[in-house]
Each structure stands twice: as structure tokens, then as C-alpha cells.
Amino acid sequence: MRISVSGLPGSGTTTLARCIAGETGLPLISAGEVFRRMADEQGMDLAKFGDLARTDPTIDRMIDERQKEIAYQQEGIIVEGRLSGWMVPDATLKVWLKAPLSCRVQRISMRDSVDAFETAMALTTERESCEAARYMDYYCIDISDLSPYDLVLDSSRWGPDALVAIVSTAIGCIDHD
């Protein structure tokens, strides 16, 4: 069973993916983890590798391909990342988490210790715009197209425990034939 968990920054994908991994006992691979591994492999800190990724399109492609490769090395895995629903198209269950921009920005500002909400808002909207353009340019993927996903859940409406319960119920209802 392969499960993908995707969503925009601050939507709660990492939290949900970790919880589902804990519930199911499946290993978890996240795009962020792949990014950190690749930065280490290049002997760079995260900030420097991030700057390189913004100017070198091969970095995003390598990260996406590495995550895809890891996902297909195992029969059972949770794959978390913005494009995981697109990169692992035959995942058993594909989940997209959404939340209003203001909710996501509030979470990001708390998580990343950004003092001013306005600063977090500007950084988030810039990041999302940049990523959306890159996804379209690299893969012809419109990140707002949710058609690949089996479940689209609003993480501003339900907390982590409720989201885990919903996804766990969906997993339990999958026909394993």
C-alpha cells in the first residue's frame, strides 16, 4: 500500500503523514527529507541548497525523482510532498490537505518563528507562486488541479486526530484485491 499526502505549505501534510505512518507502521518518505539528504550529499546547508534549487531546475527534478524512486522501492510506504499525488500516480490512496491561506500562514509563522504575520504572508505567497510556476514549467502540473486525489480534506476544519481518523477509515475501506 502506497499512500500519498500532499498540500500547500502549512496545510499539515507532515503532521498527518507522520501520524498515519505511526498508525499503520508504514515507513514515511517526505520531499523535505529528500531535500535535506540531497543537501548533505552536496555538502551544503539547507539555505545554500535552497538557493541553488531556485536557480537550477535540475535540483527540483532530482528531488522529485529521488522521492519517486524511494516510493517504488517498497510495497508499503507513506509519501509526503507537494507533488507526491502526481509523482506516485498509482498510490493506493492520495490525500490532499487544504486550509485557507490565513490559517496556513498563521501555522507557518508559528512553526518557523516568523514574528510578523505580514512577513509570513509575503514569504508564503511568494513561495507558492514560485513553486506553482516551476511545477507548470517542469511537468505541466497545475498545482490547483486536485483531480488526482481521492480525498481532499480541510485541515482548518479538523485537527490532526480527526484527520487521522478520516484517513484511517479510508485506508480500512480500501479493497485490497
CATH number at residue 34: 3.40.50.300
In a domain, 115, yes or no: no
pLDDT at 140: 95
pLDDT at 4: 96
Q: Which three cell numbers stand for residue 2?
A: 502506497
pLDDT single digits (tens) 108-132? 888 877 778 888 888 888 888 888 9
Full-model pTM: 0.88
Checking DSSP bridges between strand 93-98 and strand 77-80, what pairing results, if any? Answer: unpaired
In a domain, 126, yes or no: no
Q: Which three cell numbers stand for residue 117?
A: 504575520
Share of the chain above pLDDT 70, in %: 99
In a domain, 21, yes or no: yes
In a domain, 120, yes or no: no
In a domain, 177, yes or no: no
pLDDT confidence bin for 176, thresholds 50/70/90: low
In a domain, 163, yes or no: yes
In a domain, 22, yes or no: yes
Judged against a pLDDT cut of 80, whether residue 141 lies above it is answered with yes
Q: Which amino acid is at 112?
A: D
CA distance 115 to 132: 26
For the chain, what's the residue count? Answer: 177
Number of domains in the chain: 1
Judged against a pLDDT cut of 90, whether residue 63 lies above it is answered with no
pLDDT single digits (tens) 147-171? 999 999 999 999 999 999 999 999 9
In a domain, 58, yes or no: yes
